Amino acid sequence: MTDHSSIADGLVVSIHYTLRDDTGELLDTSSGDEPLVYLHGAENIVPGLERALDGHTVGDRLTVEVAPADGYGEATSKGPQAVPRDQFPADADLFAGMQIYAETESGDGFPLWIVEVSDDQVMLDSDHPLAGATLHFEVEVTEIRPATAEEIAHGHPHGPGGHHH
Ligand code: ZN
């Protein structure tokens, strides 16, 4: 028998969360919206938060401080780089904060974040917008359920709050 009452790898977990930075400024929240649904142990959420949730049960409320290394990484970029807008498809809906994937010449994918979009150029940064930030989460666990075999294979949850495809 597997116990599905406490959070462990291979379970789909729903959480309500509020994220603030060191100054207490609100960065993101699920409040007033659907909870965030993720597959535990599949790196769907930042490692520091995933680790803190381990073993918790429905109804638990946690306050979690996550260092940059366990969050969105240390800030390492030397600043955004400009790329001509016409390097992207004309109909691409580009916006600040959007994550895209670029490829090296050997075909390895790596993430970049859009910082700013203008008519003729796009500013790209290799750092996540929250790189270097200590993250302050307030979290409430609202649901825990077993993942389906398909969800385990895909590495993310399906259905309400999850991927649709
Ligand atoms: Zn899937």
**In the chain, what are the domain boundaries?**
11-72+132-154, 81-125
11-72+132-154 and 81-125 agree in CATH topology = no
Q: Calculate how far, in angstroms, residue 146's C-alpha sits from the geometric centre of ligand 1.
A: 15
Q: Calculate how far, in angstroms, residue 143's C-alpha sits from the geometric centre of ligand 1.
A: 19
Q: Calculate how far, in angstroms, residue 155's C-alpha sits from the geometric centre of ligand 1.
A: 7
In this prediction the pTM is 0.83
Domain 11-72+132-154: which CATH number of 3.40.50.150, 3.90.550.10, 3.10.50.40, 3.20.20.80: 3.10.50.40
Which residues lie at CB < 5 A from ion ligand 1? 154, 163
Distance, in Å, from the CA atom of 11 to the CA atom of 38, rounded to the nearest integer, reads 9
Count how many Cα atoms sit within 13 Å of the Cα of residue 139 in the half-sphere of its side chain.
27
**Looking only at Cα atoms, what is the longest distance across the chain?**
59
Q: Calculate how far, in angstroms, residue 85's C-alpha sits from the geometric centre of ligand 1.
A: 31
Q: Calculate how far, in angstroms, residue 157's C-alpha sits from the geometric centre of ligand 1.
A: 7
Other Cβ atoms within 10 Å of 120 Cβ, number: 8
Q: Calculate how far, in angstroms, residue 24's C-alpha sits from the geometric centre of ligand 1.
A: 35
Q: Calculate how far, in angstroms, residue 21's C-alpha sits from the geometric centre of ligand 1.
A: 31
Q: Calculate how far, in angstroms, residue 111's C-alpha sits from the geometric centre of ligand 1.
A: 20
The CATH code belonging to domain 81-125 is 2.40.10.330
Q: What are the strands, taking DSSP E only, across 8-134?
A: 11-20, 26-29, 36-39, 61-66, 81-84, 99-103, 109-117, 121-125
User: What is the chain's pLDDT, residue by residue, as a tens digit (165 residues)?
Assistant: 456 799 999 999 999 999 999 999 999 999 999 999 999 999 999 999 999 999 999 999 999 999 999 999 999 999 999 999 999 999 999 999 999 998 888 989 889 999 999 999 999 999 999 999 999 999 999 999 999 999 999 999 999 888 888
